[in-house]
């Protein structure tokens, strides 16, 4: 059975409360919504093409809707069909298609939207205000502002007296006559790297970007697929943009977005921790720069089969099958490059750790403090509420794992701080909670990335109302 990815299609996909109860075996085949990160890029890059672009498999979560809404405010025609997961973007003039917005642009809850838009608009000859919801306005933007300012853009924002060295949205950006830059990013960040890439395409001279680790490379892959003058040397952590002689317009080619691995992570973990489960997820993106969650789950002893079936727009795609084995998962250490490659999937892995035997140590995850919520604090709070033993660390945590084969988590109310991944982690914990207990969580928070989450789990046999 393949659930629809239409926003609101699930009985729990909109407003209200989801009620999750202990589940019997999860079994069947499903598909994920379009990859959220790739969907953002597909929309933004299509606006820079030399003609109309058809996008299939597009994510219909609220973050991707924020990007489409922002492009419309900049004069780009974007027609989305959420029910069919499609969009048509009418660019035609490259960067010149972008026009000054009539007012501030609302980026909603999406950090990817605000950061990539800043790079997109850094070379445009007008001023733009980028704002967002209460969560987004708490996310620091200093690491974004520094390289864009050095390239020639003017970027200012809100200053919090409690954190005077940081810059926060709303951001006021005035595009400038950009010049190429050698940018050494202090922290590996796909969003900052992508913003500098987009600015570099508008600059005079070469831009070279290095980062201390290899962050996800969706931007580099899709820009190359669409004909941009960009080269990557992953072994050196180097990306080079050399726009001299380039037309300034990307190629108008159809784009297909693979299924979202970050969403699939919660389904995979559920299948690994609910006894007797056997679940297959089709058409998932398997980009190696973000497949750390698969390596981590296999290191924990998870029965996980990965089959690459093809390549779309430069991205490998395939099939994932997860089965609950006869033995429980085991605790491991997740840090360094593995942690970077699994940064968005840590909430799912934290649930796996709570169901494992022995401690799991999560380290080198300071970036989680400034996501949609402070994910380290939120995970420690929610795991503790459910009865898991967990120790919070400055840039990670230690989840002690279950103490006995029969141990189960408690039900109760999840407070995800409007963070979709914390909400989904709470739902998966509910599937292995004590019999007779309910786990309650706000459904609306999940719609940010996976509107059909509850419907998908129900199709596999979970009890969710």
pLDDT at 1 over 70: no
Question: What local confidence, expressed as pLDDT, does residue 11 receive?
Answer: 31
Question: What local confidence, expressed as pLDDT, does residue 32 receive?
Answer: 96
Q: Distance between CA atoms of 398 and 393, rounded to whole angstroms? A: 8
Given this chain, do its domains 17-32+261-459 and 36-246 carry the same CATH topology?
yes
Q: Distance between CA atoms of 372 and 422, rounded to whole angstroms? A: 9
Q: Distance between CA atoms of 438 and 166, rounded to whole angstroms? A: 41
Joined tokens for residue 128: 């733009």
pLDDT at 4 over 50: no
54-75 residue pLDDT tens: 999 999 889 999 999 999 999 9
* Cβ atoms of residues 321 and 264 within 8 Å: no
Burial class of residue 20 in the structure, from the number of CB atoms within 10 Å of its CB (0-12 exposed, 13-18 middle, 19+ buried):
buried
167-199 residue pLDDT tens: 999 999 999 899 999 999 999 999 999 999 999
CATH class of 36-246: alpha beta
Peptide bond into 170 cis (omega under 30): yes
Q: Cβ neighbours of residue 404 under 8 Å, at least 6 residues apart?
A: none
The 8-class DSSP code of residue 161 comes to: T
Q: Distance between CA atoms of 195 and 191, rounded to whole angstroms? A: 6
- Which CATH architecture describes the domain 17-32+261-459? Alpha-beta prism (3.65)
Q: Tally the C-alpha atoms within 13 A of residue 278's C-alpha that lie toward its C-beta.
A: 2
Question: What local confidence, expressed as pLDDT, does residue 50 receive?
Answer: 95
435-446 residue pLDDT tens: 899 999 999 889
User: What is the pLDDT averaged over residues 413-432?
Assistant: 95
Q: Which of 161, 61, 165, 172 is nearest to 114 (CA)?
A: 172
User: What is the pLDDT averaged over residues 273-284?
Assistant: 97
Query: What ranges in 169-245 are assigned the alpha helix state H?
Result: 190-200, 218-225
Bridge partners (DSSP) of residue 113 are none
User: What is the pLDDT averaged over residues 102-108?
Assistant: 97
283-312 residue pLDDT tens: 999 999 999 999 999 999 999 999 999 998
353-410 residue pLDDT tens: 999 999 999 999 998 998 888 999 999 999 999 999 999 999 999 999 987 555 789 9
pLDDT at 321 over 90: yes
| DSSP per-residue codes, 323-376 | E--SS--B--EE-HHHHHHTGGGHHHHHHHHHHSBS-EEE-S-GGGGGSSS-HH
Strand order in the sheet with 396-399: 333-334, 360-362, 396-399, 390-393
**Any idea which of 153-167, 394-408, 422-436 has the lowest mean pLDDT?**
394-408
Strand order in the sheet with 52-56: 77-81, 86-90, 52-56, 255-256
Q: Distance between CA atoms of 71 and 391, rounded to whole angstroms? A: 43
194-250 residue pLDDT tens: 999 999 999 999 999 999 998 999 999 999 999 999 999 998 889 999 999 999 999
Per-chain mean pLDDT for the chain: 93
Q: For residue 28, name the pLDDT band (cuts at 50, 70, 90).
A: very high
Each domain of the chain, given as residue ranges in start order, spans 17-32+261-459, 36-246
Q: What are the residue numbers of the active site?
A: 344
CA distances from 1 to 12, 282, 308, 458 (A): 18, 11, 21, 11
Q: Which of 320, 396, 405 is nearest to 355 (CA)?
A: 405
Q: Sign of the C-alpha dihedral, residues 146, 150, 151, 154?
A: positive
Question: What local confidence, expressed as pLDDT, does residue 406 receive?
Answer: 53
**Among residues of the chain, what percentage have pLDDT more than 90?**
85
Rounded to the nearest 10 degrees, what angle do helices 36-46 and 111-121 cross at? 30
């Amino acid at each position: 059975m393949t659930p629809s990815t239409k926003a609101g299609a699930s009985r729990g996909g909109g407003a209200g409360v989801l009620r999750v109860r202990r589940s019997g075996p999860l079994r069947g085949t499903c598909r994920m919504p379009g990859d959220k990160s790739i969907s953002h890029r597909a929309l933004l890059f299509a606006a820079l093409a030399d003609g109309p672009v058809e996008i299939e498999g597009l994510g219909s979560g609220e973050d991707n809707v924020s990007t489409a809404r922002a492009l419309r405010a900049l004069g780009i025609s974007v027609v989305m069909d959420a029910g069919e997961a499609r969009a048509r973007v009418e660019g035609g003039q490259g960067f010149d298609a972008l026009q000054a917005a009539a007012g501030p642009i609302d980026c909603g809850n999406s950090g990817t939207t605000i950061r990539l838009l800043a790079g997109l608009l850094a070379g445009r000859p007008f001023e733009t205000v980028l704002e967002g919801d209460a969560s987004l306005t708490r996310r620091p933007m200093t690491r974004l502002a520094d390289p864009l300012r050095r390239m020639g853009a003017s970027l200012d924002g809100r200053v919090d007296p409690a954190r005077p060295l940081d810059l926060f949205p709303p951001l006021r950006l005035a595009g400038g006559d950009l010049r190429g830059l050698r940018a050494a990013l202090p922290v590996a960040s796909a969003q900052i790297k992508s913003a500098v890439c987009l600015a570099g395409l508008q600059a005079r001279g070469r831009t070279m970007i290095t980062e201390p680790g290899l962050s996800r490379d969706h931007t580099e892959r899709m820009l190359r697929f669409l004909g941009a003058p960009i080269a990557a040397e992953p072994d050196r952590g180097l990306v080079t943009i050399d726009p001299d002689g380039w037309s300034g317009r990307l190629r108008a080619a159809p784009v297909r977005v693979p299924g979202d691995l970050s969403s699939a992570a919660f389904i995979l973990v559920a299948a690994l921790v609910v006894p007797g489960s056997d679940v297959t997820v089709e058409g998932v993106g398997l980009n190696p720069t973000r497949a750390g969650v698969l390596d981590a789950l296999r290191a924990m002893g998870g029965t996980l089969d990965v089959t690459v079936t093809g390549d779309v727009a430069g991205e490998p795609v395939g099939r994932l099958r997860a089965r609950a084995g006869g033995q429980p998962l085991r605790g491991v250490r997740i840090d360094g490059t593995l942690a970077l490659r699994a940064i968005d999937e840590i909430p799912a892995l934290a649930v796996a750790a709570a169901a494992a035997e022995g401690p799991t140590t999560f380290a080198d995850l300071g970036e989680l403090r400034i996501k949609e919520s402070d994910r380290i604090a939120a995970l420690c709070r929610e795991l503790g509420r459910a009865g898991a033993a967990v120790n919070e660390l400055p840039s990670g945590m230690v989840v002690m794992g279950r103490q006995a084969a029969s141990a189960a988590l408690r039900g109760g109310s999840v407070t995800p701080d409007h963070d979709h991944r914390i909400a989904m982690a709470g739902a998966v914990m509910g599937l292995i909670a004590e019999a007779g207990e309910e786990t309650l969580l706000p459904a609306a928070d999940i719609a940010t990335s996976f509107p059909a989450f509850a419907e998908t789990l129900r199709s596999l046999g979970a009890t969710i109302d």
